[in-house]
C-alpha cells in the first residue's frame, strides 16, 4: 500500500512539472497534442504512468534534458 502511494505521489509530481513547463511556454494542451501527437491532458492528471521515452519526447519538445526535468522534482 505504501509503495502505491509513493508511486502515485511521483506521478503527480511529474504531472505537475509537465504542466508547469507547458504553461510557462503558454502552450495549450490542444496545441501540444497537434505538435507532438502526445495527449498531454491525460498525463497532466497524474493518472497515466508514462514511459521514459514519452517523457524524453516531452523534454525534447521543451528543450530540456531529463536531468533538468527531474532537478525541479523534490
**pTM of structure:** 0.87
36: domain CATH number is: 1.10.260.40
Total tally of structural domains belonging to the chain? 1
Q: What is the per-residue pLDDT across 9-57, written as a single tens digit (0 to 9) for each?
A: 899 999 999 999 999 999 999 999 999 999 999 899 988 889 999 999 9
SS in 3 state form for the chain? CHHHHHHHHHHHHHHHHHHHHHHHCCCCHHHHHHHHCCCHHHHHCCCCCCCHHHHHHHHHHCCCCHHHHHHCCC
45: left (phi over 0), alpha (psi -120 to 50) or beta: alpha
Cell numbers placing 3:
509503495
* Domain hosting residue 11, numbered range: 2-71
Amino acid at each position: 500500500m505504501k509503495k502505491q502511494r509513493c508511486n502515485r505521489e511521483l506521478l503527480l509530481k511529474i504531472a505537475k512539472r509537465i504542466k508547469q513547463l507547458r504553461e510557462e511556454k503558454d502552450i495549450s494542451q490542444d496545441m501540444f497534442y497537434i505538435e507532438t501527437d502526445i495527449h498531454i491532458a491525460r498525463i497532466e492528471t497524474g493518472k497515466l504512468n508514462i514511459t521514459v521515452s514519452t517523457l524524453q519526447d516531452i523534454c525534447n519538445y521543451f528543450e530540456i534534458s531529463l536531468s533538468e526535468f527531474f532537478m525541479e522534482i523534490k
